[in-house]
Amino acid sequence: MTIEDKKEAAEKPLNFIEKIVEEDLRAGKNGGRVLTRFPPEPNGYLHIGHAKSICLNFGLANRYGGQTNLRFDDTNPVTEDTEYVESIKADVRWLGFEWANEFYASDYFDTLYNLAIDLIKKGLAYVDDSTAAQIAEQKGTPTEPGTGNEYRNRSIEENLALFEGMRNGQFAEGTKVLRAKIDLAAPNMLLRDPLLYRIKFAHHHRTGNKWCVYPMYDFAHGQSDSIEKITHSICTLEFVPHRDLYDWCIEKLGIFPSKQYEFARLNMTHTVMSKRKLLQLVNEGFVSGWDDPRMPTISGLRRRGFTPESIREFCDRIGIARHENLISFSLLEFCVREHLNKKARRVMAVLDPIKVIITNYPENQTELLSTENNPEDPEAGVRQVPFSRELYIEREDFMENPPPPKKWFRLGPGLMARLKSAYIIQCHDFVKDQNGHITELHCTYVANSKSGQDESGIVVKGTLHWVSVQHAHAAEVRLYDRLFKAEDMSQAEGNFQDHINPESLQRTTAFVEPCLAEAQIGQNYQFVRKGYFCLDTDSTPQKLVFNRTVTLKDSWAKVK
What are the residues binding ligand ATP (CB under 6 A)?
Answer: 39-41, 49-50, 52-53, 73, 235-236, 265-266, 273-275
Q: Which is nearer to Mg ion, 127 or 272 (CB)?
A: 272
Q: Which is nearer to ligand ATP, 242 or 346 (CB)?
A: 242
Question: What gap in Å lies between CA 116 and CA 359, rounded to an integer?
Answer: 86
Residue 273 site contact among Mg ion, ligand ATP, none (CB < 5 to 8 Å, cut-off depends on kind): ligand ATP
Counting Cα atoms < 13 Å in the Cβ hemisphere of 477 gives 23
Using an 8 Å Cβ cutoff, are 349 and 530 in contact? Answer: yes
Residue 343, judged by CB atoms within 10 A of its CB (0-12, 13-18, 19+), counts as middle
Residue 59 site contact among Mg ion, ligand ATP, none (CB < 5 to 8 Å, cut-off depends on kind): none
3-state SS assignment for residue 283? helix
Residue showing the smallest CB distance to ligand ATP in the complex: 49
Question: What gap in Å lies between CA 320 and CA 549, rounded to an integer?
Answer: 26
Q: Which is nearer to Mg ion, 15 or 79 (CB)?
A: 79
Residue 274 site contact among ligand ATP, Mg ion, none (CB < 5 to 8 Å, cut-off depends on kind): ligand ATP
Q: Contacts for 142-145 with beta carbons within 8 Å, 24 or more apart?
A: 142/187, 142/189, 145/184, 145/185
Pairing verdict, β 524-527 and 345-347: parallel
Residue showing the smallest CB distance to Mg ion in the complex: 41
Question: What gap in Å lies between CA 259 and CA 275, rounded to an integer?
Answer: 26
Q: Contacts for 448-456 with beta carbons within 8 Å, 24 or more apart?
A: 449/418, 449/423, 449/424, 450/369, 450/422, 450/423, 451/369, 451/418, 451/420, 451/421, 451/422, 451/423, 452/370, 454/424, 456/424
Phi (first) and psi of residue 12, to 5 degrees:
-70, 130
Q: Which is nearer to Mg ion, 40 or 59 (CB)?
A: 40
Give the DSSP letter string of 144-157: B-----GGGG--HH
41 given a catalytic annotation: yes
Shortest distance, CB of residue 48 to Mg ion, whole angstroms?
16
Q: Which is nearer to ligand ATP, 40 or 148 (CB)?
A: 40
304 given a catalytic annotation: no
Question: What gap in Å lies between CA 521 and CA 538, rounded to an integer?
Answer: 10
Question: What gap in Å lies between CA 92 and CA 55, rounded to an integer?
Answer: 9
Counting Cα atoms < 13 Å in the Cβ hemisphere of 87 gives 22
Shortest distance, CB of residue 39 to ligand ATP, whole angstroms?
5
Residue 53 site contact among ligand ATP, Mg ion, none (CB < 5 to 8 Å, cut-off depends on kind): ligand ATP
265 given a catalytic annotation: yes
Active-site entry in 18, 29, 41, 63: 41
Residue 49 site contact among Mg ion, ligand ATP, none (CB < 5 to 8 Å, cut-off depends on kind): ligand ATP
Q: Catalog residues that contact Mg ion under the rule CB under 5 A.
A: 41
Shortest distance, CB of residue 328 to ligand ATP, whole angstroms?
15
Shortest distance, CB of residue 504 to ligand ATP, whole angstroms?
20
Q: Which is nearer to ligand ATP, 119 or 273 (CB)?
A: 273
Active-site entry in 71, 259, 275, 304: 275
Q: Which is nearer to Mg ion, 24 or 218 (CB)?
A: 218
Shortest distance, CB of residue 91 to ligand ATP, whole angstroms?
12
Shortest distance, CB of residue 440 to Mg ion, whole angstroms?
59
Q: Contacts for 140-145 with beta carbons within 8 Å, 24 or more apart?
A: 140/184, 140/185, 140/192, 142/187, 142/189, 145/184, 145/185
Number of neighbouring beta carbons within 10 Å of residue 469: 17
Shortest distance, CB of residue 157 to ligand ATP, whole angstroms?
37
Q: Which is nearer to ligand ATP, 24 or 73 (CB)?
A: 73
Shortest distance, CB of residue 41 to Mg ion, whole angstroms?
5
Active-site entry in 265, 343, 355, 420: 265
The catalytic residues are 41, 265, 275
